[in-house]
Structures are given as C-alpha cells and as structure tokens.
Amino acid sequence: MTELSSDELQFIFNTFSFLLWGALVMWMAAGFTMLESGSVRTKNASVICLKNIGLYSVAGIAFYLIGYNLMYVDVGSLIGSFRFLREPSSDELALLAGAESAREAVIATDYAVMSDWFFQMVFVATAASIVSGALAERVKLWTFFVFTLVLTGLIYPIVGAWTWGGGWLSQMGFQDFAGSTIVHGTGGAAALAGALVVGPRHNKFRADGTVTSTPPSNIPVVTLGVFILWFGWFGFNGGSQLALGSAADVLAMSHVLVNTNLAGAAGVIAAIAVSRPILGRVDLLAGLNGAIAGLVSITAGPDITGHYWAILIGAVGAIICTAAIKLLERLKVDDVVGAVPAHLFAGAWGTMATVIAAGADIGVQLLGMVSIGAFAFVTSWLTWVALEKTMGVRVSRKVEEMGQDVTELGIDAYPEFVLMPERD
Amino acid sequence: MTELSSDELQFIFNTFSFLLWGALVMWMAAGFTMLESGSVRTKNASVICLKNIGLYSVAGIAFYLIGYNLMYVDVGSLIGSFRFLREPSSDELALLAGAESAREAVIATDYAVMSDWFFQMVFVATAASIVSGALAERVKLWTFFVFTLVLTGLIYPIVGAWTWGGGWLSQMGFQDFAGSTIVHGTGGAAALAGALVVGPRHNKFRADGTVTSTPPSNIPVVTLGVFILWFGWFGFNGGSQLALGSAADVLAMSHVLVNTNLAGAAGVIAAIAVSRPILGRVDLLAGLNGAIAGLVSITAGPDITGHYWAILIGAVGAIICTAAIKLLERLKVDDVVGAVPAHLFAGAWGTMATVIAAGADIGVQLLGMVSIGAFAFVTSWLTWVALEKTMGVRVSRKVEEMGQDVTELGIDAYPEFVLMPERD
Amino acid sequence: MTELSSDELQFIFNTFSFLLWGALVMWMAAGFTMLESGSVRTKNASVICLKNIGLYSVAGIAFYLIGYNLMYVDVGSLIGSFRFLREPSSDELALLAGAESAREAVIATDYAVMSDWFFQMVFVATAASIVSGALAERVKLWTFFVFTLVLTGLIYPIVGAWTWGGGWLSQMGFQDFAGSTIVHGTGGAAALAGALVVGPRHNKFRADGTVTSTPPSNIPVVTLGVFILWFGWFGFNGGSQLALGSAADVLAMSHVLVNTNLAGAAGVIAAIAVSRPILGRVDLLAGLNGAIAGLVSITAGPDITGHYWAILIGAVGAIICTAAIKLLERLKVDDVVGAVPAHLFAGAWGTMATVIAAGADIGVQLLGMVSIGAFAFVTSWLTWVALEKTMGVRVSRKVEEMGQDVTELGIDAYPEFVLMPERD
C-alpha cells in the first residue's frame, strides 16, 4: 500500500468535509420547503413544494453552467469568468481514470475541485429558497423559476465574486464567515424587491388599515422545517471553515458549531419572551422565526465570536426579527413567511455584530453590507420589473382566490380533508 | 500513544465511510415512508407506515440471519454461502475485547466486517421499500412481510452474489456502481410482479376505459419524502465508493456526489417540462418522480460519467419515467406511487446509459440488466403466486373500500379531520 | 505544510466525531417533536411544537451556563463544579486566534473541549424531550420550561456527574454506554413524576373504569418522528464511543451501530407480534414504540454485546414496553406518548440486560439503575410539587377542553381543516 502523506490526508479531510457538510446544507432545501408549505394556506401548499424542488434544481444547474465560474474563476475585482461549465481539473480526470501519476498534482490542490463546487452550490440554492417563501401565494410559477435562474446564475455569483471569490470586498477585509450578508442578505434583498414588485396578496392589507390574518395551515410541518434548517445549519456554518485537515481547522469547526447552536437557542428564547410585548401574545411563529434569525445572526462571525457573545447576538437578532415582522406589516409589505425579517434584517445585524463582538472593521462591514444589499436589491428589482413587463409576475385575481394548486397544477395539497370556508 | 500507520488510517476512513453514509441510506427508509404515506388515500396512510417500518426491520434481520452470507461469502458463480448469522471476525472480537495484539490482523482487512454489513443492509431495505409503494392500498399486511422476507433473504442476495459478491456478472465486467439495476431494477421488478399478481385497486381502471383518479392525500408529506430520498442518495451513491482512505477515493466520491445532484436536478426540470405534453398539465408529482428517476438513472455510473452527461442521463431518465407512468396506466397496471417507472424503467435506462456515456460494454450491460430483471421478476412472481395460493395476497373488497387502517389496524391516520365522501 | 502527527490526527478524528454525531443527536429533537405533535390531539399540536423547540433551547443554554461544569468539571464523588459558563481552554483560544505555538498543547487534550460540550448538550436535551411527550395536553407551558431548566441545569448533570463525570457510580464500574439509565431512565423518571403530579387528562380514566381513547391525530407525522429518532440514534450510540482516532475506536463504533439497528428492528417486529395478544390488535403505535424501546434497551451496552444478543435485548425491551403501556393504563397514569414505558421501563431492562449479555456486575447495575431512577424521580417530583404550589402545573379545565393551542398561543395547528366534534 502507498503511504499516506500529510498532504494526501489533508486532501481527504478537506474534500470529505465539503461533501458531508454540503449534503447537510442540501437538506436545508427540504427545511425551506416544509416551512413554506406549512406556512401558506392549503390552496397553495402544493405549488410551493414545486417551486422549492424546482428552485433547488434550477440553482444547481445554473451554478454548474455559469454561476461558479463567475464567482470563483479568475476573479478580478468585480466578477470572475464567463466560462461555460465547471469541470474537474485535468489531473483529477486523469486520477479518476486510474492514472496514479496524477496523484501528487491532485493532492497539491488541497481538495477536489468539484467538492468545493458542491458546497458552494447548496449555498446559492439557500439564497434562492429565501425568495420563494416571501412571495408565496401570488407569484407566477414560471416567472419565479426565471428569476431563480437570474439570481443563481448572475446576481448571487457576482456578490460572491466580490467576497468569497477574492474580489474587492474580500481585499478590504470584509468579514462574513458563512454568509449573513452574502447568502442571507442577498436572498432577503431579492425577496424584498420581489415583494414590492409583486405586491401583497389580495386583501392582505385592508382599506380600513387592518391586516387580514392568514395563519399557517400546518404548524407541525412549519416546525419540522425549522428543525431541518437548524440541523442543516451545522453544515452551513461548520463546513464554511472550508478545511478539516488540521487541529486548528477542526477546533474552529467546533467553535462554530457551538456558537451556531447557542445563537439559535438564544433566538428562540428571546423571540418567545418578546413576542407578547411586541406581537401581543406568546407566539410560536415568532419563536420559530427567532431560531432562524438567531442562526442567521451568528453566521457572519461564528469563528471569531466568544460563546457568550453568540448568545447575545442570537437573542438580539431574534428581537430585531420579531420587531421587523411588525414593521413590514406597518409598511404593508407582504412577506408570507417572514423571510425578510429573518434573513435580511437579522443578516444585517449579524454582519455588524462582528464589529462589537470580534473587532471587525465597522467601515468595511457597513460598506459590505450596504453594497451587497443595494446591489442585490437593485438588480433583483430590475429583474422583477423586467419580468413584470414580459411574462407577468403575478397570478390573476381569480387564480389567487382559488389558489395556485388547483389552477396551475390541477391538484389539491390535501384533497380529502374538508376545508373551512374562507373568510374574506 | 501508538503511531497511526497508513493502514490503520485507511481502516478508520473506510469503516467510518460505511457507517456514516450507511446511516444516511437508512434515512431513505423514512423517505419512502413519507412518499408512500402521502401518496395513498388517507384510509390507508397508517398501514403503509407500518409496512415501511416493518419492512426495514424485516430486511435488517433477514440480511443478518442469511442474506449477507448468501450474497458475499464464498461466492462461486451464482450464490454464496447458506451459513447462518453474519458476525465480526475473531480478530475483531479480540480487539473489541481489548486485545491490542489483534490490531494488525484487523487493520489488514481494510474495514470493519460489520460496517460493510451495515452499508449493504440498508441497500437491501431500499429494494424492499420500492415494492411497498407500488402495491399500496390493497396488499395484505402479513403477506407483504413474508414477501419482504423472501426478497431480502433470498432474491436480492442472489442478484447481489452475481454482481457485488463477485459472481458471474461481476466476472464479465457488468458495470452498476450503486445499483441502478441491482437495487432499483430488482425492487422495481419485484414491484411489477406484485402489481400483476395482486391486481389493480378496485375500480381504478373502469369498464369504460377511463382511469379513476386517486390523488395523493398529503402533498407536503410526499414532497418531504422525495427530499429525504435525494439527501439519502448522497450516502447511497457516495458510500458506494466503498473506501475513503486515499485521494483517489475521496475524489471519486466527490465526482459521484456532483453527478448525483446534477442528475436529480435535471430530472426535476425535464419532468416538469415534459409533463404538460405527456400528462396534460404541469405536474408536481411528475417533477417529484423525475427527481427519483434522475437519481436512479445516474446510479449505475456516477463514478465514470462526465458531469454534463449526468445532466443528460438524469433528464432522459425522468422523461422515460414520465412516459412510463402513462404507459402503465394504458396497460392497466396499478402502481400507486410510480415505483416501476421510477425504479425499473429509469434503472434500465441508467444501466444502458453507461454504454453511451462511459464506454461500458453494451452486451454485458444488456445481459446483466435482462438477467437480473428476469430473475427478480420471475422469482418474485412465483413468490407472489405461492402467497396467493396460501395466505392470500389481497384484502377483501370490503377492507379495500373501508381502508386498511380501520380494518387491519383499528385506527385512522387523521382521525380528527372531516373527510370528503369518497367518489366512486 | 506542517506534518500531521498521529496526535493531531486523533484530535481531528475525535473532535469531528463529536461534532458530526452530535449534530445527528440534535436532529432527534425534531424526532421527538414530530412524534409528540402527531400523537396529541390537534387542539394541542402547536403548543407541543413550542414546548419542544423551547426545551431544546433551554437545555442548550442551561447546560452552557451551569450544567456541563456540574457534570464534568472537578467531579468528586457526587457533583462537579458550580462554576459559571463552559469555555474553550486558553490554549484553544490562542490557537483559534492564530497562535500556532499553542497547537501542541491543544492536541494533547485529544479533542476540542467544546466539541465534547456539544455532544453532551444534545444528550441532556434528549432527556428533557422525553418529559414533554408524557405530560402533553395539560401541563402549563411556562411551568414546563422552568422544570426543563431544573432538569437540564441540575438533576441530569448530577446524575451525569455520578457516572460519565467520573463520580461514585463510575468508580464502582457501572456500565451504561450511551445512557439507557443515565439519559432515558432519568428522562423517564422525570416524566413519571410529572405525570403523577400533573395528573391524567380530564376524563382520560372514566369513573366506570374504562379508558377514553385519545388517538394520535396525525399518524404519518408520528411515524416520521420515530424514523428521525432511529436515524439520530446512530449518532447517539455511535458517538458515545467518544473517539474515532484508532482502529479499535472505529471498530467499536461499527459494532455499536450494527447492534443499535438490530435492536431497533427486533423491537419493531416483537412489538407488532405481541400487540395482538397484549393490546387486542395489530398495533402500529406499539410497533413504533417498539422501535424506540428496542433502541433504548441496547443503549446501555451496544459496545460489549454480541449481535444476536442485540436482537434478543431489543425484542424483550419492546415486549416490556408494550406490556408497560397496558400497565400504566391500569394504574391510571396518563402518559400521552408512552414515554415512561419506552424510556424508563426499556431503559431499566437494557441496563440489566448487560448483566446477562455481557457479564456486567449485577449488583452494580442494579444499584446504578435504582439510585439514578430514585434520585431523578424524587428530585423531579419535588420540583413538580414546588411548581404546583407556585406557578401551578396544570392548565384549567377550560383550557384543557379548548386546547392549549387556541388558549395559550392563539392559533390552531391546522386552522383550515374541519374537525370532528369531540366525543367525551
């Protein structure tokens, strides 16, 4: 048998880390699906399932065709390469074909090229998942898929090129470990732009200033979704160490997982505690969104933040999220699952919290957060407007009333259960 | 501390790979359960849960008692040994008991004997899971368990002996990396045989030639099932590298996971795209089955197929699956979840696709596919017929009308929800 | 690149094992949530979700603030330290900050300090999860959280100090690998104490001696919960090897996973088989609880038990659980999900089974089981009584009748489905 060199061992550890934690992040797609499918009314619970498995698929193909290269290959300051397809290196192809002579060259790259692609691909899918929930119950199916293509093939990769790809924000030292801003801010900004262009659901905000209650149709399924996200977040943050081949790497991974869990837990407790003063009742959905907000908040700096800080960061993020839910309602922005509060607002907080908790540069953090937020918002808004002028973004009033399940898919999510007549 | 030799490191990596990826394949049992439980009508949603947790348990015990030895131990050309029980080696038992002197002998076997058993056991359970969905809503509970015992204790292990056990097909160079034919073809053929013997649900195919619609009762649960399967498939295909202790192994694993995801994603998109021309509407269930078909299709050769090929293979597999759903309906074969299209048809396509995409021998692939398909079909058919003559395979008309939940288990799946009166 | 020493490799393997398997145990929290949310009536299906995500959060914070130190730091015979917060070592903080000079000192500790905290934290959450199911549908929300704080911050850590922390029971040689008694017995005893203090649901046990049927409201969700638990149990038991850095460790892990699966499978089959004679029908819920009971039973000795013994231990555990369900009903103890039978009774059996199957000392096992059971029961009972005198433990009759979802949270779990009128 060949001896295993330290280089080869590191190659194994690093590659395996990408694959395993990446698989766990893929599982988050199921979490978003459950969260959203349980949050919408039953008449739209099937179409949101299709949107979610569809967006995960579109994101995966788009990131293979153009996204990854745009984000990571030959990045100057702003963007990478418009090369088509992401492929293994020629050394890797040789080793895959059995040429042991290629081994040293392969090992020298630290990890398998496509294992990194896999890990980054599930991240772009996460950003796209954020959008589907906010726009549920009224955005057109095919329009949503086209937007997903633009978001995952262009917008997100450009943001990624600025940061993880080594572009201008990275060069300035912008700190965003696993993407409070890069992933969650981008997804949240795209969702906000979409919510503004698509508009609120019919009669969500009544003429008399009151808000129509549209309670989640299936609470256990929503809760399951949040647990899936939490579980997957260990891959999302843990895998973002991007290496496992040294004591320092695995120590950092441990630090990251502990902070992730503490922030999520603190988020739940804080959101439940403030839900009564802010929302008027002990609120399960606030608690669930609090978990997500806590997790989003810690995501910018779980590697450099002390554990007690993680508790504080998660708790504050959850409170901000809870207040933002109320704020969006006041502003008559209709975000079905609270995606903008939990991802954009908590993501912004998390990005800035690294200044307080871990000494990140306030100017750089602010610049990064604002630049990415503005870029993602504006490009998304332009895309949504362009789609509005061409394909249309919004289903007809009749489709909205009857629900997209029956009208677009010809099925019911729960065809055998007798439903309450809808109050309007 | 003892120094870790390269041999010992490989032993650790390989064994851990079996355990971890095997655990993820076990999780696929939950995926099948959710997929099937959401696909049947509510009156049979509990009994299918029992069938699934029962089949996983029966498969695990049967493969421990006789299956593994028949598949892997002293395989000549056709079958292995009829020895009873699968046990750790005596060296392993010694090391487990603390005898460090046994370490070298243990390490020399490359992985822990029972870790391989664990990984192979979850595969046989997968094959059995395929059957339960196809025959849902009318096959007798205990008869199904007896069939599961035969399938997992005898039929599958014999197919496995021919191939992964080192028998005649393996010697000819049959390529089936993780089991497009060996697992999914065998399961699909057993399901088809069962569907023919058990017959369609009452009134599924009406005298006037029309087909009674029996829509899934719980779409979010079906969708969850498909996501679980996709997630678990990373273990199914990734773990099938059977080793993790070298750069070449982990590189192959990376290649496999990327292909797996691309094929699944392409399957979703292709199935949605062709669902309107083939099935007459944009169809969520086609999309979900498209994911499975894409995943099944790539399973024969994810290690030797280029990534762009994976997209094509997955897409074609999904189209074949969608068309086969229509075909089975024409042939009046009642397959509740589309198991035969997604596993048998897509599996056959995947097995042959290795010829086009990766230069596998067309004659050997064809021979392997046909031999295994025929063997699994004929032995399953004979078993089902024997069961029909003895225990009976089909519940009475009255049980079918009332549902198996109330009649066989005395419970309702959703006892508090008011149900729509059944149309007949 | 620095060479990887054997010490550093072991540090990586061990730490990674804690993180990965710990993440899988966290996922069990979702399993308990689904199991319980599907088991209660729809009118309480939301509040049990909140209790579960809340208890997981409270447990995580409490174990960080005081629990871990009490269980593991400077344990004499009875308890550890009342030091506040659990933090990385100063060497670890230095290495996290980039000081390579700290590497050797970090590596010498065998694993990252907080990775062990993470793994132990998800265990204490498991113990707390057991309680919520038993007391569902009538325990007050905030009281339950206060009890969780006491259980996870004090009671469980003290039990843990006696055993895994190195205290008196550990010194006597008490064998409880992953916690049949330490986790499941403690949780089960706390649940039993709570069930006695809180009392049965109104009219559960009628004056005429009959028992009101309160069937689970959502069987697929219950089944999903059990599959999640089974999947997570691979982390629970596998990770309890506490190391992965040698052939002996990974071999033991393999042995443990195989035994875990065999015991769960045997539990399912045995429980289904005996459900008809004991409960009067083939019972899905008995089968599902049989899986849990089988898994609990093997948890005390999966490392030292032969595989055939695992089958027997799991099967007997499931039969004991099934009989105990009947027994509790006779004793008019209302345990909504069968937590006491599946965790306390099967846990006790598993603890004693190590005597028969693996030569553990009968006196020590009995002493450990009784001491821990008695301590957990008495302290829990006192806590519940104290809570009864102060906050109150039980919701009002009116809240119980209307359900806690509407009254405490202001929502319905399934607001759109028309429900059957409740029979009383």
Note the pLDDT tens digit of each residue in C370-383: 999 999 999 999 99
Return d(Cα B46, Cα B412) in angstroms, integer: 7
B187 touches chain C (CB under 8 A): no
- Average pLDDT (B284-303) is 97
Segment C256-273 shows an average pLDDT of 98
Nearest residue in B to A3, CA atom:
B6
pTM of the model as a whole: 0.98
* CA–CA dist C71, A419 (Å, integer): 51
**Whether the predicted pLDDT of A134 surpasses 60:** yes
User: Looking at the 3D structure of chain B, how many domains does it have?
Assistant: 1
C123 in Cβ contact with C23 (< 8 Å): no
- pLDDT grade, residue C423 (50/70/90)? low
Q: With CB atoms and an 8 Å threshold, state whether C251 touches B418.
A: no
- Identify whether the C-beta of residue A414 lies closer than 8 Å to the C-beta of residue B419: no
Percent of chain B with pLDDT over 90: 96
List chains adjacent to chain B, taking adjacency as at least 3 C-beta pairs closer than 8 Å.
Answer: A, C
pLDDT of residue A279: 87
pLDDT mean over B170-198: 98
Mutate to test the interface with B, among A41, A406, A416, A419 (most CBs of B within 10 A): A416
Q: Which residues of A touch C243 (CB under 8 A)?
A: none
Once rounded to an integer, what is the mean pLDDT over residues B229-240? Answer: 98
Q: Is residue A419 part of a domain?
A: no
Each residue of C145-164: pLDDT tens digit?
Answer: 999 999 999 999 999 999 99
What's the pLDDT at B319? 97
CB nearest B418 (choices: C228, C284, C419): C419
Asked whether residue C279 carries a pLDDT value surpassing 90, the answer given is no
Collapse the DSSP code of C417 into the 3-class scheme (helix H, G, I; strand E, B; otherwise coil) and give the result.
Answer: strand
Neighbours of C206 (CB within 10 A): 10
Place of tokens 């299956």: B67
Tell me which residue range forms the domain holding C320.
Answer: 6-409
Give the least confident one: A185-199, A409-423, B188-202, C28-42. A409-423
Residues of C in contact with B27 (CB under 8 A): 227, 231
Query: Could you tell me if A238 lies within 8 Å of chain C, comparing CB atoms?
Result: yes
Distance from the Cα of B183 to chain C's closest Cα (Å) equals 21
| Contact map slice: B 327-386 vs A, CB within 8 A | none
Cβ–Cβ below 8 Å for B15 and C224:
no
Q: Specify the CATH number for the domain of residue B249.
A: 1.10.3430.10
| Residue A422 is assigned to a structural domain of this protein | no
Structure confidence at residue C292 (pLDDT):
98
Contact of A139 with chain B, judged by CB distance below 8 Å, is answered with: no
For C:82-121, CB contacts with A below 8 A are 85-88, 92, 95-96, 100, 103, 106-107, 112, 114-115, 117-118, 121
> Which C residues in the span 288-327 are in contact with B, Cβ-Cβ below 8 Å?
288, 291, 303-304, 306-308, 311
Alpha-carbon gap, residue B394 to A289, rounded angstroms: 47
- Does the beta-carbon distance from C53 to A218 stay under 8 Å? no
Predicted local distance difference test score (pLDDT) of residue B280: 85
**Is residue C416 a part of any domain in this protein?**
no
- Give the pLDDT confidence of A325-360 residue by residue, as tens digits: 999 999 999 999 999 999 999 999 999 999 999 999
Asked if this assembly's ipTM is beyond 0.90, the reply is: yes
Q: Give Cα separations from A72 to A273, C174, C249 (angstroms).
A: 43, 55, 39
Given pLDDT bands bounded at 50, 70 and 90, which one contains residue C198? very high
Q: Do B2 and C246 touch (CB under 8 A)?
A: yes
Tell me the nearest-neighbour CA distance from A240 into chain B, angstroms.
17
Are the beta carbons of C64 and A262 separated by less than 8 Å? yes
Angstrom distance (rounded) from CA A317 to CA A326: 14
Three-point CA angle A330, A335, A338, nearest 5°:
95
- Residue B424 is predicted with a pLDDT of 54
B62-120 per-position pLDDT tens digit: 999 999 999 999 999 999 999 999 999 999 999 999 999 999 999 999 999 999 999 99
pLDDT band at B423 (very low <50, low <70, confident <90, very high): low
Q: Which of A21-35, B337-351, C276-290 has the lowest mean pLDDT?
A: C276-290
Cβ contacts (< 8 Å) between A310 and chain C: which residues? Answer: none
The answer to the question of residue B422 being in a domain is no
Per-residue pLDDT for C415 more than 90?
yes
Confidence of residue A1 (pLDDT cuts 50, 70, 90): low
DSSP state of B331: T
Q: With cut-offs at 50, 70 and 90, classify the pLDDT of residue C421.
A: confident
Work out the mean pLDDT of chain B and round it to a whole number: 96
Size of interface A-B (CB pairs under 8 A): 199
Cβ of B217 within 8 Å of Cβ of A29? The answer is no
Is pLDDT at A216 greater than 70 in this prediction? yes
Share of chain A above pLDDT 90, in %: 96
Q: Quick check: A281 pLDDT over 90?
A: no
The residues, any chain, with a CB within 8 Å of residue C158's CB and separated by 6 or more, are C70, C71, C78, C79, C375, C379
User: Three-state SS for A413?
Assistant: coil
B3–C contact, CB cutoff 8 A: yes
Residue B268 — pLDDT band, cuts 50, 70, 90? very high
Give the tokens for residue B91: 């060296």
- Residue A423 belongs to a domain: no
CA distance A299 to B359: 45
Test A12 with B283 for CB contact under 8 angstroms: no
pLDDT on residue B422 = 76
The number of C-beta contacts closer than 8 angstroms across A and C is 199
Chain A CB contacts of B306 below 8 Å: 87
Residue A196 and residue A381 in contact, taking contact as beta carbons nearer than 8 Å: yes
**pLDDT tens digits, C298-349:** 999 999 999 999 999 999 999 999 999 999 999 999 999 999 999 999 999 9
Chain C residue closest in CA terms to B59:
C265
State both tokens at B405: 């939940």
- What are A421's two structure tokens? 């007549």
Find the CB nearest C118 among A226, A257, A418. Answer: A257
Mean pLDDT of C32-52: 98
d(CA C318, CA C346): 7
pLDDT for residue B276 is more than 70 = yes
A227 with C118: Cβ contact below 8 A = no
- The residue-averaged pLDDT of C250-257 equals 98
Q: How much is the pLDDT for C1?
A: 54
d(CA C289, CA C295): 10
Residue A244 distance to chain C (closest CA, Å):
8
Residues of A in contact with B261 (CB under 8 A): 26, 60, 118, 121
Chain A: nearest CA to C399, how far in angstroms? 15
Q: Hey, is the C-beta of B228 within 8 angstroms of any chain A C-beta?
A: yes
Q: What is the pLDDT of residue C66?
A: 96
Query: Is residue A416 domain-resident?
Result: no
Distance from CA of B101 to the nearest CA of C (A): 11
Q: Is residue A167 part of a domain?
A: yes
Q: Is residue A420 part of a domain?
A: no
Residue A1, burial from CB neighbour count under 10 angstroms (0-12, 13-18, 19+): exposed
Residues of A in contact with C45 (CB under 8 A): 219-220
Which residue out of B4, B24, B28, B254 would a mutagenesis test of the A interface target, given it has the greatest number of A Cβ atoms within 10 Å?
A: B254
* A80 CB-side CA count, 13 A: 26
pLDDT at B212 > cutoff 80: yes
Q: How far is residue C409 CA from its own chain's centroid? A: 26
> Inter-chain contact B250–A15, Cβ cutoff 8 Å?
yes
- Average pLDDT on A229-241 reads 98
Name the residue in chain B with its Cα closest to that of C286: B50
Cβ distance B255 to A114 less than 8 Å, yes or no, reads yes
pLDDT of A158:
98
Report the pLDDT value the prediction gives residue C230, as an integer from 0 to 100: 98
Cα angle value A38/A39/A45 (rounded, 5°): 60
Q: Which residues of C touch A258 (CB under 8 A)?
A: 114-115, 117-118
> pLDDT grade, residue B363 (50/70/90)?
very high
Chain C: touching chains (3 or more CB pairs < 8 Å):
A, B
Closest CB to A284: pick one of C49, C87, C107.
C49
pLDDT band at residue B421 under the 50/70/90 scheme: confident
Q: Are C37 and A250 an interchain contact pair (Cβ–Cβ within 8 Å)?
A: no
Say if residue A66's pLDDT is above 80. yes
Comparing C-alpha atoms, which of B55, B85, B62, B78 is closest to residue B158? B78
A230: pLDDT strictly greater than 70: yes
